């Protein structure tokens, strides 16, 4: 006699509702309240970024394939900005940005 494999053929199917619930719980999107408004914040892994962005915090490029943060005001998705993770976390400590020419004095 040959031995039989016990179990089901194929994978069990999941209900459509459970898939949506799983998507929402694994999202990297959160809501943060700051002095200047309520922000939607999304953490981006390096593998999903497909072009370089300029960080508004330090005015440096965020290279390709670098994990970073995307943030925008709750009802203003057009104002979405890509930040270095550390620049986003320290943005409340930054002084107001003053643009100067290269040879201008700092003070």
Instruction: Judge whether residue 92 has pLDDT over 70.
Output: yes
Closest CA to 31 of 78, 71, 91: 71
Q: Tell whether the model's pLDDT for residue 17 goes beyond 50.
A: no
Which residue, among 85, 86, 81, 87, has the nearest Cα to 58 in the 3D structure?
87
Query: How sure is the predictor about 80, in pLDDT bands with cuts at 50, 70 and 90?
Result: very high
Please state, in angstroms and rounded to a whole number, the distance separating the CA atoms of residues 89 and 34.
Answer: 11
Domain ranges of the chain: 27-93
Give pLDDT, residue 51.
86
Concatenated DSSP letters of 58-79: T--EE-TT--EEEEEETT-GGG
Query: What's the whole-model pTM score?
Result: 0.62
Q: Which has more confidence, 107 or 86?
A: 86
Distance CA 63, CA 46 (A): 9
């Amino acid at each position: 006699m040959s031995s039989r494999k016990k179990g089901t053929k194929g994978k069990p199917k999941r209900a459509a509702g459970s898939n949506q619930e799983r998507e929402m719980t694994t999202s990297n999107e959160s809501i943060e309240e700051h002095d200047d408004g309520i922000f939607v914040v999304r953490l981006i892994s390096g593998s999903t970024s497909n072009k370089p962005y300029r960080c508004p915090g330090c005015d440096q490029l965020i290279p390709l394939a670098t994990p970073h943060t995307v943030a925008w005001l709750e009802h203003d998705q057009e104002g979405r900005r890509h930040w270095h993770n550390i620049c986003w976390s320290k943005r409340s400590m930054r002084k107001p940005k003053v643009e100067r020419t290269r040879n201008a004095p700092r003070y």
